[in-house]
Each structure stands twice: as C-alpha cells, then as structure tokens.
Amino acid sequence: MRNLVFVARRARRHLETALAQLCEMNHPAGEVWALYDLALLHRAQHEPDEARACLEQALDAARRAESDLLEEKIAGALRE
C-alpha cells in the first residue's frame, strides 16, 4: 500500500510538471491529455472535486484545441 501512495504522488508530480510545460508551450491538446490523466488519478484516490476541476479545465483546453473528439471524451468523463 505504501508503494501505491509513493507512485501516485510521483505520477501527480510528473503530470503537473508536464501540464506546466504544455501550458507554457501553448499546446492545448497536450494540456487536455495531462489534465485528463490527472483527473483519473484524482478519481482513483477518491478526490472527486479535484477530478471534476481537472476535467472542466480539460474541456476548456479541448475547446481551445478545436477538437470535437477530445471535447466528447471529456464531456463523457464529466457525466460519469
């Protein structure tokens, strides 16, 4: 169990770093995937409010990327 906590913490740190870099590069499609993965991590850790916030940010990024496919995927995850 202790290893899972360590792995989750490390994954979150890597995703947050990637997200910051993608934002700096103005890469909305990449932001969508980083936020989506971060949301899944929050859900797995039973943090629904944080997961929802990430998904809402991902939806905004998908709209900026003008990707209907990503918008549908994120909207579906928000409905779950």
List domains and CATH numbers for the chain.
2-79 (1.25.40)
pLDDT tens readout for residues 14-68: 999 999 999 999 999 999 999 999 999 999 999 999 999 999 999 999 999 999 9
- Residue bearing tokens 């928000």: 78
**Cβ-count burial 11-42 (b if 16+ within 10 Å, e if not):** eeeebeebbeebeeeeebebbbbbbbbbbbbb
Overall pTM surpassing 0.85 (yes/no): yes
